Structure 1
Amino acid sequence: MVTDAFGESGPAEAGRGQRVLDLLDKAIQAQSPLVRKNIARARQRNPEATPAQMIRSLERMYVSALTGTGAAVGGAAAAPGVGTGVALALSAGETLSSLELSVLFALSIAEVHEVPIDEIERRRTIVMGIMLGGTGSATIAKVAERTGQHWGRQVVAKVPVETLRQINRILGRNFVTKYGTKQGIIVLGRVAPFGIGAVIGGGANAAMAALNVRAARRAFGPPPTS
């Protein structure tokens, strides 16, 4: 399933790389049906919220959830009496949770901006483009042969699916390298002594969430007026 979307993997990528891409697809499949519920949660306190206010609420919800998850798992994994195997298992589970939160955030922002997310290739481009930051946006612009700001609206919503497949093959390789390495560092950090692990887990996730929020703002630009 993932191999078709991201291109054939070389021998060096077949193990860890394929597992990362499988996690990505699993997260997209799980979170896509929850996008409108997530937006409804963002509107609960203010049913008359403008798109700009909803986006700010979605951003706060995402940063808070990701930071809290990292801190909670970091503290539990580093608690006295927890073996290294259990600690690593807890951190591995949190890796999927943080990926799911990031997928839900990216797709929710796209929905508010009225960017189509019905097709799997468009969802993959949105998620990886945001999580890869500047590298992702540069790759998308180059392959799509389009210049200008806000690739989320200019590219994802308009280019043919076949072009998106080409983009996703390149993004997939970059995603494996960056996301796999980043999560590996965070996982090891969470196994630090009790207390330190919670700080590392929460701080690392907070930093990653902030980067993804900024990337989403650059990807889609100003919110719609209505």
Structure 2
Amino acid sequence: MATGVGDGLAAEAPGPGQRVLDLVDKAIDLQSPLVRRNIDRARQRKPDATPEQVIRTLERMYISALAGTGAAVGGAAAAPGVGTTVSLALSAGEALSSLELSALFALSVADVHGVSLDEIERRRTIVLGVLLGGSGSTTITKVAERTGQHWGRQVVAKVPVETLRRINGILGRNFITKYGTKQGIIVLGRVAPFGIGAVIGGGANAALATLTVRSARRAFGPAPEAWD
């Protein structure tokens, strides 16, 4: 079964799925150096916070940041005198910023859990799997031929890189149809009349961020009881 998946991906690598991986890679490259700083920021008010407390703070920071960018762009895009083309361009740019924020969140949670993400393929799997939620975890465990809870700790750490490469090819294509469609709806919603666009942008982003938080909790399971 795994061989068939790999053969299919080899033929389709230059397609949309690969372009998604390129965008994810860019987000990962930009945000990976900021992971430790992001965790330190979450611990700033309480340096002796437990891993679980830090993760909860990371979740609140992520939801707040994503909702804030959505509302800001929604308001600007719908302001008087701003054309539809400019509005869509602003919203599309914000969608890329949302991807970067999501990558930073997923990688930060993985770091708190002590998950080693030295290779790009493992970072890709974490980001795409968390963003895709249930469909992502199903793909990961099926292609990896592994069962059990908390794929973020079990699968990503133990599965060979070549298998992860096949997984990421599938996740990249799924990302277009699932996450991309959701973002497209949000982008169009932000072009609504002034004020309404801000509400749609902020509320929709907050809803997406909440789903991502739940997905990360399922992916990694309970936080470590203490820091390594």
| TM-score > 0.5, shorter chain as reference | yes
Describe how 1:47-126 pairs up with structure 2 within 5 A: 47-126=47-126
Q: Distance in 1 between matches of 2:13 and 2:103?
A: 26
Question: What is the rounded CA distance, in whole Å, between the counterparts of 2:103 and 2:97 in structure 1?
Answer: 10
What is the alpha-carbon distance in structure 2 between the residues aligned to residue 208 and residue 77 of structure 1? Answer: 20
Q: Does 1:193 align with 2:193?
A: yes
Partner of 1:140: 140
For structure 2, list consecutive stretches of 5 or more residues without a partner in the other structure.
1-8
The one-letter code sitting in structure 2 at the alignment partner of 1:97 is S
Q: State the shift of 1:86 in Å.
A: 1.2
Asked if structure 2 preserves the Cα contact closer than 8 Å seen for 1:150 and 1:220, the reply is yes
User: What TM-score results when the alignment is normalised by the length of structure 2?
Assistant: 0.92
Query: How far apart are 1:8 and its partner, in Å?
Result: 4.6
Distance 1:7 1:75, change over 3 A: farther
Identity %: 80
- Per-residue CA deviations over 1:64-106 (Å, capped at 9, x if unaligned) read 0000000010010011111111111111110111000000000
Q: Which deviates the most, 159-168 or 126-135? A: 159-168
Task: Tell me, yes or no, if structure 1 residue 177 matches structure 2 residue 177.
Answer: yes
Q: What code does the residue aligned with 1:154 have?
A: Q
Deviations 1:156-215 (A, max 9, x none): 011111111111111111012112211111111100100110011011100100000000
Equivalent residue, structure 2, for 1:31: 31
Match of 2:128 in 1: 128
Structure 2 contact 67–206 (Cα < 8 Å) conserved:
yes
Q: What's 1:44 paired with?
A: 44
Q: Which amino acid aligns with 2:95?
A: T
Aligned to 1:3: none
TM-score (norm 1): 0.92
Change in Cα spacing, 1:205 to 1:137, as seen in structure 2 (3 Å) is same
In the alignment of these two chains, the number of paired residues is 218
Which residue in 1 is equivalent to 2:153? 153
One-letter amino acid matched to 1:193: P
Is the partner of 1:157 in helix, strand or coil? Answer: helix
Shift in Å, 1:118 = 1.5
Aligned partner of 1:9 among 3, 12, 26: 12
Deviations 1:83-142 (A, max 9, x none): 111111111110111000000000000000000112100000000100000000011111
Is the 1:126–1:152 Cα contact (8 Å) retained in structure 2?
yes
Q: Counterpart in 2 of 1:22?
A: 22
Contact persistence 1:21–1:176 (CA under 8 A): no
Structure 1 unaligned regions, length at least 5: 1-5
CA RMSD of aligned residues (A): 1.5
Give the Cα–Cα distance (whole angstroms) in 2 for the partners of residues 212 and 94 of structure 1: 17
Q: Distance in 2 between matches of 1:223 and 1:192?
A: 41
Distance in 1 (alpha carbons) for counterparts of 2:20 and 2:111 = 25
Q: What CA distance in whole angstroms lies between the structure 2 residues aligned with 1:43 and 1:27?
A: 24
